Structure 1
Amino acid sequence: MAVYTDVAEGELGAFLKHYPVGDLLSYKGIAEGTENSNFLLHTSSGSYILTLYEKRVERADLPFFLGLMGHLAYKGVSCPLPVTAHDGSVIGTLAGRPAVIITFLEGLSLRRPTATHCAEVGKALAQLHLAGADFSMTRPNALAIDGWRKLWDAARDRADEVEPGLAAEVDADFADFERNWPKDLPQGIIHADLFPDNVFFLGEKLSGLIDFYFACDDLYAYDVATCLNAWCFEKDFSFNLTKGKALLAGYK
């Protein structure tokens, strides 16, 4: 469940008066997601998503994430737009959490994507990379080698409880990563989390990208590799070559 912080109706109604979204008609928590508390709002002017940022998301990173969404939307990428309050601010405070209202995108996330869907993902990823090329803000990738190392160091002492010899195996993998990680590949703004639950479709047509809260500066290949792993492997862990080729063909 992705509602970690509850919001009372009266508190939410007062919060919404600071935004040009009309009166609250109804709201409900959204189960999908793992990082923040999300609510679907229905107001007299339409539907919106309310996000309350929990502890893992740093408030200092929010201008990057929200600014990027606005920049990409301006460049033609279909993604949500933050709603600006009457006083010109974007980030508010609700229930003791940083809070943002964003526009609502129609569509469904897919559990069984086809090669056609994968081609659409490749096309959207290329569009995102091109559109982000002149975005002025920067943010390092918290889940590159340094970030993985921190996670591994926190878990290493118990790794052999999962499987004897696992600690030594992962240590060797890290040594290989650090020795051979590419440094001269094209890079720029990446999504870094473009899994199927962050992509919406209407039929076979991609309708939008969401959840930019891992976005950062890194190798474009990082994004491509993430998508190949997330979209092109079947439930029996076999790689679907047709889907992989379709995704790469779309990314051009």
Structure 2
Amino acid sequence: MAVYTQVSAEVLAAFLTRYDVGELVSAKGIAEGVENSNFLVETTRDRFILTLYEKRVAAADLPFFMALLDHLDAKGLPVPPAIKDRDGIEIQELEGRPACLIRFMPGVSLSHPTPAQALAAGSAMGEMHRAVADFAPTRENSMGVDTWRPLLDRCGRSLDQIAPGLYDDLAAALDHVEARWPRDTLDRVAIHADLFPDNVLMLGDTVTSLIDFYFACTDIRVYDLAVMHGAWAFDGAGRNYDAAVGEALIRGYERHFPLSAEERGLFATLASGACIRFALSRAWDWLNTPPDALVMRKDPLAYMRRLGHYHPALAMRVA
């Protein structure tokens, strides 16, 4: 989450009249993250999240995201669907951006998940994957394996401004992963593709919501677990691996989908690909985030360090 586009109280109050949600009491920008402009909105009736979709989220993709959230909500999963206005419309326009008013969900995101919390979160991902078995819409992964090489090329040697030799290290890692990537053999479903700890809300050891589905797409099911594993099982800097958390995630997931021998054999490759994906997207943001944006840039080197855990031969030169 972030704030790129400001919304005045007067404009927001007028926007809320489209809905049956009461009158505006307060609104506060949410600074975490890098993707969209988000506000916590309180009305005389309830609290909501207002999201304005910025350049990385294409307006044409929003119907897929909203349909997926509606589908999961109908299945009883803890997700935050968009609120429909009085005309039944979910996707609006505000300050020249596509916008949605979204149900507020209770709970807090985690900075240091415990094994018990990881077990619950892994199970929630497995439950989500089971719930999408009959979800028909599809969307290509806009940050999938075929996009990593072009993004590396766009970043170019500017990567070496972040760390000396980063371009060459990423290029070598990508060569390795692309040659081993499973193209056709593993199960593909609608996945979250970004289920970091801050995208899971919890109360104690109970998952209260899965949020921020704006990278959701159709891709390898176990790749979703690999993304989650890399996000949950390391400290923020990517230096220390917590085996208890990593193993608990997989155990929780296997309550719904026991991993096959092929999936286990390819897990390190999928997780290495996830490391490359997030190192590259973070590097791009690091190099291109507007200096006046209310946003926290994330360290791309933290994912280069994780890469060495999954494939020691690909250990990078970053400290």
CA 1:91–1:169 in structure 2 vs 1: closer, same or farther (change >3 Å)?
Answer: same
The answer for the alignment partner of 2:218 in structure 1 is 217
Partner of 1:249, secondary structure, is helix
- The alpha carbon displacement at 1:175 in A equals 2.5
Q: Tell me the amino acid that sits aligned with residue 116 of structure 1.
A: A
Identity %: 47
Q: Deviations over 1:174-219 (max 9, x none)?
A: 2322221012011201100000111111112111110000000011
- The alpha carbon displacement at 1:149 in A equals 1.2
- The alpha carbon displacement at 1:239 in A equals 1.9
Contact kept in structure 1, 2:152 and 2:171, CA below 8 Å:
no
* Counterparts of 1:155 and 1:44, CA distance in 2: 47
* Counterparts of 1:176 and 1:79, CA distance in 2: 36
The answer for the alignment partner of 2:113 in structure 1 is 113
RMSD: 1.6
- The alpha carbon displacement at 1:159 in A equals 4.3
Q: Tell me the amino acid that sits aligned with residue 57 of structure 2.
A: V
The answer for the alignment partner of 2:261 in structure 1 is none
Partner of 1:110, secondary structure, is coil
Partner of 1:118, secondary structure, is helix
Contact kept in structure 1, 2:4 and 2:37, CA below 8 Å:
yes
The answer for the alignment partner of 1:58 in structure 2 is 58
Structure with a larger share of its residues in helix: 2
The answer for the alignment partner of 2:33 in structure 1 is 33
The answer for the alignment partner of 1:245 in structure 2 is 247
Q: How does 1:39-118 map to 2 (within 5 A)?
A: 39-118=39-118
CA 1:159–1:5 in structure 2 vs 1: closer, same or farther (change >3 Å)?
Answer: closer
* Counterparts of 1:245 and 1:168, CA distance in 2: 32
* Counterparts of 1:118 and 1:68, CA distance in 2: 23
Q: Tell me the amino acid that sits aligned with residue 41 of structure 1.
A: V
Give the count of matched residue pairs: 251
- The alpha carbon displacement at 1:168 in A equals 4.1
* Counterparts of 1:134 and 1:159, CA distance in 2: 42
Q: Tell me the amino acid that sits aligned with residue 107 of structure 2.
A: G
- The alpha carbon displacement at 1:234 in A equals 3.1
Unmatched tracts of structure 2, length 5 or more = 256-319
* Counterparts of 1:225 and 1:91, CA distance in 2: 31
Q: TM-score under structure 2 normalisation?
A: 0.75
